[in-house]
Structures are given as C-alpha cells and as structure tokens.
Structure 1
Amino acid sequence: MCALLAVYLTTLLLEGVLRYVLAAAGVPNLLYLRDSIPVGSVLFLFLRSLLRDRRIDLVIAIPSALLACHAVYSAMVGVAIFAIAFGLKIYLFVIYGMAMWPLLRRRLAPMLAMGTAMFAITAAGVFANFLWGTMPWEGLEYETAFGMSSTTRTWWMAHGIARLPGFTRTSFNAAVILGITGLLTMLRYGHPLARLAIFATATTAIVLTTSKGMVLAFPLAALWLVVQDRRPAMDGHVLVGALCAATVVLPLVVVFWDIGSAMKASDFPVLIVSVWERFTSMWPLAFQLLPDGPQSWLGAGLGSIGTPLAFGNTPHQANSADNVAIYMMVSFGVAGLVYCAFPALSVRKVAACEPVALHRMYVAVLVIAYVYGVSTNMIEESFFSFFFGLCFGAAASAWLGEKERTP
C-alpha cells in the first residue's frame, strides 16, 4: 500500500513531464490509470478489515457513507451525473488519506524521508524552470474526449511575471507540494541551520511560483514547528481554531455585508488585486449557486462548484470558489462547514492520542490548509487532498479509537 502511494504521489510531482511524454506517445489518457491506486487501496483496506478481521473500518466507512448520501442528494436535485462522478473523484483523495493514516502513522521516518525526496525534486524543478526559461512540456495542448487539455497551464501575472510549475502541472500544484513537503523536511531535520536552509529554499521556490497564499501559509506553519520545539506545552488548538474561523467567517462577512461593493480594484496593489476579484465577484457568485429556501442548508450537491461545474448542466456559471470553506459549503451545505472545521476541532484530541512528531505534522498541515484555503480552493488539488485526508484520518481515529491497522 505504501509503495503504491509513493508511485501515485510521484505522478503528481512529475505530472507536467508525464503528460508531455504520454502526449508525445499518443496515449495522453493513460495517465488517468493512476486513479486506480487510491480506489483500489481504499477498497482493499476496507474489505481486508471486513473479511479478515471481521470488523467494519469506521474511519473508511463513515466518510464513504456520507459521500454516498451526498451523491444521492445531488442526483435528486438535478446535478448532472458526470459532474457528480467528478465530485466523487475529487473527495476520493480525502478518503484515501483517511484510509492510509493508520498505516503511515507507524511509518513516520519513511514518510518524512519520502517527503524530503519530493521536496528536493519539486524545488529542483522550479529552480530549473527559472534558470532554463520555458520547459519543453509547458503549454503543450492535445485533444481528449472532454475537449482540449494541456501538459501544463501557462499562467502569467501582471508585467509578464511567469508562474513557474517546474515538473508539476501548474504553479499552484508546485506551491502546494513545496509547502507540505517543506514542512515534512523540517520535521525530519531538527538542526537550526538545516531548518533555516530548508526554509530559505522552500520560500524562494514558492515565491517563484507566485502563489501568494502559500507565501503566507508556509512561513507561519514553519514558525509553528520552531516555536513548538521550544514550548512543547503548546498544542496549537488556538492557532488552528483561529485560522479555521477566519477561513469560514471571512467570506460570509464579505458577502452578507457586501463589503466588496465599496472597494475598487485600484485600492489594491497589482500583486494582490485578485483579493478584490474574490470580494466582488467570485465569492458572491459562489453563494448564488446555492438553492433557494431551506434547501440551501443542504447545499447544491456534489459537482455543483469548481471544475465539475464545467461538465454539468450550467457550465456558464463556472466558479472556482477560491475558498475551501465556500467550496465545501456549496457542495454539502451546513455539513460542509462542519467537515471543514472537524480537524480544527480535534487538535486537542489528536495531541492527547498521538506522539509529538505526528501532532506537530498535523497542526502544520492544518495551518497550510486554513491559511492558503482562505483564498484558494485546495480540495481539487490531489496532493493537498491526500494530506488533508491524513488530518481527517488522525482526527477520526482519535475520536473512534481506531489508530492501528495491521500492515
């Protein structure tokens, strides 16, 4: 299971290169076979517990049952079947992380070593992209059954500043991987000089991706690791709770008090003008996707926001949410806000159940999730969703008492 996980995560690290090679070979859709790894792993782990140990693995069963209920509701309210399937695929990686948590928690050293290798590869890719210029695989487009696709997405900011993806598919993917694996690498190496070098490397590479949210999130998460080393009594519940509250409350305040209407794009520096776009259009339009009346408490259903919406019945309403809480609320209603807050509400429980190193990793990943998640829909990023799933798995295991799973 762990070896297959390493293979799957590696395909995300090298997705730009792999898409380029497969497109050149005329088999670009072959890459999607990798999705059989999380599907097969979740099924295998659940069925093995059921058939061999004669028990239901609740850490897998409960979220799977909830997701199935949301899928049925989505079909009942008229969400297109393909959009629902796309939504199920997106959240599959969260369940994959939950399923793998009991295995990985007993293999912390190999997990940190794998994270270090992934950090080195991703950082090297971004730096090579900066020095080389445009990589051969950047921007190559090819035809698929769902229309045109590309090996990487060539994004540019104002004044011609390139958003560098390195070996990944987009600069956003590179930033997410750098942030999470940078923290894993800092956990592995405790010497101050080593941590300083890791921090400098990660921050520089993240800046080159121009992902502003991660430029804020990674230093805060790294600071947590350093401070907690010196003050072990800190469990991080106040920090994570405050960040989670900001992620949930900020868009609600902006939309319901119509704060964006009083702002102009010229009020914002050019590098953060996207904040104005979220306040005035993205967030308000996302709330309009919710159904009218009491039904809005149940959400618009799986596949009703983000990328799946482009394949549904209303592609003209395409909206990426640009906030992880909004994305989950539109998909699941009030339950989505509960899901979003669940890991934050479980920090103390995890601290009481898990070793210090695992607890540090748990809090650090949640800092990334909630700080970057204020301005970005991260659920559709598979690498992040897997690690967010690990946090859900740690929280659920702590509450349910199911921490162990036989390898």
Structure 2
Amino acid sequence: MTFQSSLLKLLDERGYIHQVTDAAALDALASRETVTAYVGFDATAPSLHVGHLVQIFLLRRLQQAGHKPIVLMGGGTTKVGDPSGKDESRQLLSHEQIQANIAGIRKVFERFLTFGNGPSDAIMLDNDEWLSKLEYVPFLRDVGRHFTINRMLTFDSVKLRLEREQPLTFLEFNYMILQAYDFLELSRRAGCRLQMGGSDQWGNIVNGIELTRRVDGTEVFGVTTPLITTADGAKMGKTAKGAVWLDEGHLRPYDYWQFWRNTQDADVVRFLKLFTDLPLEEIERLGGLEGQAINEAKIALANAATAMLHGDDAARAAEETARETFVAGGAGGNLPTLSVGDGIGILSALTALGFCASNGEAKRKIAEGAVRLNDEVVSDPAMIAEPGKLSLGKKKHGLLVA
C-alpha cells in the first residue's frame, strides 16, 4: 500500500518493513498524532552488536519522523531467557551482571537517539521495574488465562526446540507471556501504541497486541523488520572473528570501519539505506557506481556508520589508516597491534590477532601463500615472528611490536 504518514513512508523507502499489523490504521494514527513506540533489548552482554543495529535504527527513524521512542531494557526478561532462535537455554545472569550490562549498553543508544523530556525525546525503561514485582498467582489469574497452551505450542520459538528434541524449560516457556505483558504495561504507563522488532518477534508482538486489547480494550500495533542477511546468505554481523560489537572496548573503531568497508558489492545500497542517514538521492548515485568505483560507496558507508557510532574523528582516522595501509603500502597507526616480546610463533601471532580461528587454519593460509610479514611471503609455519607488519591476504593487517 501507499503510506501517507511520514513514519511509515520513511520506514518503507529505507527497507525496514517486513510485516505490519493493520497497516492502514497505524498509518492513520501516525499521520494525526505523535506515536510512542518501543523496541526491547535483553541485557545478555555488556555491549550490543551489529545484529542489533536494525532495531536501533528503527527507533532512530521513529524519532526522525517526529515520534517518541522507548528503549526497553530487559532487566526482567533477561532473567528468563528468550527461546526465539535458540537451540539451548540461555545462561542465567545475576541481577548485578544484568544491571552492569544495561549501564554499558546505554552508551550505545546515546549515539543514535536524543534522550530527554520533550514530546519526541527518547526514554529508557527497564522491565525489571514491573516484572520483578508481579505476584505469581494474581499474574496467572489476570494475564495467564488469556494464553492457551495449544497456541503457544505453535510458535516457532517453541515448536523448533521441541521438533529438535532440545530442552525447553518452563522458565523460557513463560518468556512470551512476560513480553506480551510488557506491551500492556507500556501502554498503561507511557501511552505506547507500537512495538517494533525483528521478524522472529512477530508472534511475541501479536501476543502483546491481543493481550492489550483483551485486558484494556486499547488498540496497539506491531511492525517487524526482515531478517538482514548478506548477499551470500550469511546472517548480518556474523564474522569468522565473532560478533561485531558496538562498544569500542570490545571492538576498535578501525575494525568497525573495516567491517563496513568490506561490504559485498550487492549489499552496499541496502546497507546505506538501513545504516546511514545519507540522503536517498546520494545513495542512488553511489549505487550507480560500477567496477572499482564501487569502493567509493563502500568508503562512504564505512565513514558514515563509524562516524555515527564513534564520532567523525574516529572515522577519519580509520580511513587514513586504511589508505596508508592499502594504497600507500605503509602501516597505519590504527591497525591492530600485538606485542611479540622475545618472540612468538607466526601461527600464534595470526590467531592472537584474530586473523585465523586456529593454528590449523593459519598453517593452511601459509601453505596458500596468503601470509606476509613486512611484505615478504611467509613459507615456514614454524618461524618466529619478528616486529613488523603482518598481513593475511589483502584485507587483514596488523602490527607486531617488540
């Protein structure tokens, strides 16, 4: 359908919309008033990663369209564990660990959203505030009666675990009810009318919509985003070295810049729309570049994404380091660094820098002639690494220092 509200137009033209509940009614609501919307984030780690960026940008686009974002931290639901997309139970964290993770995660959101008391200023809430105060029997009577086991067993998060004969604890089974209750609670506390999330959250979002309608008679809505994969079918943000973290304490700005710079040609336009604020006209121009010129678009993506998260200075420094390393043949100052001390093996150096996942992989790369030390091909896997620039292929470079 053709949307009339600036919110759904923006989400649609940038590629965020996968499913919408009652799109016409939500479009009308967003056209006539400020919509308060939320996305939930469980605090399972001290930082978010690139896989969370689509949801972060949903809140950013919401604010850009003049509406009010709620960042809902799952201080309560993290204690339970979301079974969606999981093959096994989540490790349980202490209350103190969860709160420490939330404190670290907030710094990321402050890069993307404006927090405050204005009508479209973002707020951050923690569902532990209400979930930990629930009394079990009253909760079962007031909320649990609206959920049937028959239907809960049809949700993918439950069905897939059972089909694979993998344990699903009663604790996790409650997750979908608690998330639904979050929507009801946010509707009451903050006038929240919209929940947004990834496509794997569709069932949980619908549960919250139905619960809010049945209990309070309030009309609320849901929007989900498509699963973001790369052109080769890999899940967005998954690399051989693990998650691409959004906290510079877990991943240096240069490595973050390189992640975006290494985007596949077929993904550049889509990622520019999703993960930058560049105007669509400029994105269209960049998307028209061909051959080696497409690297201009990749650098624009890397610069814009890095500047938004780490600041303009970090983006400029990363680009300069890359230019010195790849174009001028030097060793830029922001490359990953490893102290070799009195000497370590070349295999250990390759794995310590994260270039290879194991010594076996490092040996194979050496046999392929893909490893260079100070621009000289390494042929002996038993050699001791000396200070200099260590390279794997054309894209991975690090500095070995005494």
TM band (smaller chain): under 0.3
Greater Cα radius of gyration, structure 1 or 2: 2
Greater relative CO, 1 or 2 (CA 8 Å, sep 6+) = 1
Q: TM-score of the superposition, structure 2-length normalised?
A: 0.23
- Where is the strand percentage greater, Structure 1 or Structure 2? 2
- Where is the helix percentage greater, Structure 1 or Structure 2? 1
